[in-house]
Amino acid sequence: MYRLIAAMLAAASCATIAQAQSAPPPVVEVGATLSLDQALSMAGASAPSLDAAEADINAAAAARTVAGLRPNPSISVEAENVAGSGPYRGTQSLETTTSFALPIELGGKRSARIGVADARSRRVAVQAAITQADLRFNVIQAYAEAAAAQQRLVTANDQARIAAEGFRAAQVRVQAGRASPIDMQRADVARINADADVERAQRLVEVSRFSLSRLIGQPVSGALDTNWFTGVRSNYGPLREIDSTGTLAMAAAEADLAVADAGVRLARSQRVPDLTVGAGARYMRETGDTAALFSLTIPLPLFNNGKAAVDQASSERLRAEAQKRVTALEVDQAIARAQAEAANASTSAVTAKGPALAAAEEAARIARIGYREGKFGQLELLDAERTLAETRLAAIDALLNYHNAQAQLERLTVRAPDLEGN
C-alpha cells in the first residue's frame, strides 16, 4: 500500500516541480533571462522542504512495515535449587526449566495497526503534495516580487533620466532669462530625488533577487521575464461555482479523519486480551528425569479494560469530523475571496497599464513640449512628471497584486493526488 501511495503521489504532484525532482535543474547562462518555469524547476531540484517530505514518506513506509510485524517469541531458562545449604549446596539438586513462549494477538490488533499506518501514510502523501504546492506558491510570489522590483528600477532610471533632462532644460531657460532661478532649483531637487529613488530601487532589486535565489538554489544574474509579468488575463466573468471537494486542504482534513477512524478501530482491538502460550522442559539433576511443561497466560483487565482509550479515540474522531466541516467552510470562503481578488486585480492591472498609463504618458509629453516652448510653467511640468511616475508605479503594484492573487487562487484550488488509484 505505501509503495502505491508513494508512486501515485509522484504522479499526481505539481508537474513542474515533480519533473524537476526527477531531472537535473536547467542550466541558465550567466546574464540570460530567467523564466518562471526555469525558476520552478530549480526550486523543485534543490528545495529542502521536498527532501523533508520525501523523508516523511520513507518514514511512513517504515512505520507501515513495523505495524505489520508480529510479536516476538521469547525463550526463558530457569535454574532452581542451586547455591543453597545442605542438600541444595552447589548444583547437586539442580533443576533447570527451559521454555518457549509465543504471544498470540487477538481482536484484530495487527490489522488495526496496519490500518492506522496506511491512514497515516495517506496523510503524509497529502502533506507532501501540500509542501510541493506551497513551494510553487512561494516561488511564484518571489519571482513576481523580483520582477516587480526590476520594473520599478527601470521606471526609476527612466524618471531619473527625465529629471536630468528637465534640469538641463531649466538651466537653459534661466541662462536665457526666460525663467526664474527658482525653476532651476526645483529641477535640481527633482533630479536629486530621482537619483535617490534609483538607489532605493536598486537595493530592492538586490533583496528580492536574493530571496528568489535562496528558493531556487542558484544566484539570479540575468533579467526576469517581463512578458510574463506584464501579461494579464482580462476575460474574468462572474465568479465560478465554488467546490472545495478534492482540494489539498479538504484531502488533508479527510486524511486526518481517516487516521482518527483507524485509531478508534485500534483502540477497540486493544480491549481484547492477548494470549501467551508456552511449552518447555524441566530437567531434574538428582534423578536425571525430564518433564514437559505447558503454559497459557491470560491477562485480567481489572484496572485497565481499554474503555478510556476507546473514549479518547472516539473523541478525537469527532474532533476530526468537525474539523473537516470547518475546513470545508473555510476553503469555500477562501476560494470565493481569491476569485474576487484575482478578478479585481486583473481589472486594476489592465486599467493601470493601459488607459491610465497612456493618458499619463501623453500628459507628460505635452507638458515637456509646452515647457520647452514656454507655454507651461515648471510646476505644471513637475506635476505631470510626478503623475506619470506614480501611474507607472501603480501599474507595477497592480501587476504584482494580480500575480499574487492568481498564485493564491491556484494554491487554493490545486487538486489533491488520487491516493485510491481511481
φ, ψ for residue 259, nearest 5 deg: -65, -40
| Averaged pLDDT, 398-421 | 86
**Band of residue 200 on the pLDDT scale cut at 50, 70, 90:** very high
Instruction: State whether 18 and 52 are in the same domain.
Output: yes
Dihedral class, residue 118 (left if φ above 0, else alpha if ψ from -120 to 50, else beta): alpha
The single residue listed with the C-alpha cell 520552478 is 40
Would 12 be classed as within a structural domain?
yes
Would 418 be classed as within a structural domain?
no
Instruction: State whether 86 and 38 are in the same domain.
Output: no
C-alpha dihedral (310, 314, 320, 322), degrees to nearest 10? -170
Instruction: State whether 98 and 133 are in the same domain.
Output: no
Would 419 be classed as within a structural domain?
no
Instruction: State whether 253 and 336 are in the same domain.
Output: yes
Instruction: State whether 33 and 138 are in the same domain.
Output: yes
**Band of residue 179 on the pLDDT scale cut at 50, 70, 90:** low
φ, ψ for residue 391, nearest 5 deg: -70, -40
Residue numbers of the domain that contains 83: 71-104+272-305
List strands edge to edge, sheet with 289-297: 74-80, 95-104, 275-284, 289-297
> From the CA atom positions of the chain, what is the Rg in Å?
37
All three cell numbers of 333, joined, read: 470562503
Count of structural domains, the chain = 2
Contact 218, 26 (CB under 8 A): no
Instruction: State whether 95 and 195 are in the same domain.
Output: no
Q: What was the pLDDT predicted at 27?
A: 55
- Burial readout 133-143 (b: 16 or more C-beta within 10 A, e: otherwise): bebbbbbbbbb
Instruction: State whether 396 and 258 are in the same domain.
Output: yes
% of residues, the chain, pLDDT over 70: 87
Residues with Cβ within 8 Å of residue 216, at least 6 apart in sequence: 39, 42, 43, 46, 139
> Picking from 44-58, 192-206, 231-245, 279-293, which range would have the lowest pLDDT averaged per residue?
231-245
Instruction: State whether 391 and 253 are in the same domain.
Output: yes
From the centroid of its chain, how far is CA 242?
A: 23
Instruction: State whether 48 and 114 are in the same domain.
Output: yes
| Averaged pLDDT, 183-208 | 89
12 has a pLDDT exceeding 60: no
Residue 83 sits in a domain whose CATH number is 2.20.200
Which 8-state DSSP code applies to residue 415?
Answer: B
66 has a pLDDT exceeding 90: yes
Would 55 be classed as within a structural domain?
yes
**Cα 53 from Cα 47, distance rounded (Å):** 10
Instruction: State whether 232 and 145 are in the same domain.
Output: yes
How many Cβ atoms are within 10 Å of 267's Cβ, its own excluded? 22
Instruction: State whether 369 and 255 are in the same domain.
Output: yes
**Band of residue 28 on the pLDDT scale cut at 50, 70, 90:** low
Instruction: State whether 209 and 350 are in the same domain.
Output: yes
pTM: 0.81
Q: Output the DSSP codes for 122-170.
A: HHHHHHHHHHHHHHHHHHHHHHHHHHHHHHHHHHHHHHHHHHHHHHHHH
The single residue listed with the C-alpha cell 500575480 is 403
Residue 370 sits in a domain whose CATH number is 1.20.1600.10
**Cα 414 from Cα 406, distance rounded (Å):** 12
Q: What was the pLDDT predicted at 419?
A: 66
From the centroid of its chain, how far is CA 135?
A: 5
Would 149 be classed as within a structural domain?
yes
334 by DSSP, 3-state: which? Answer: helix
408 has a pLDDT exceeding 90: yes
All three cell numbers of 36, joined, read: 518562471
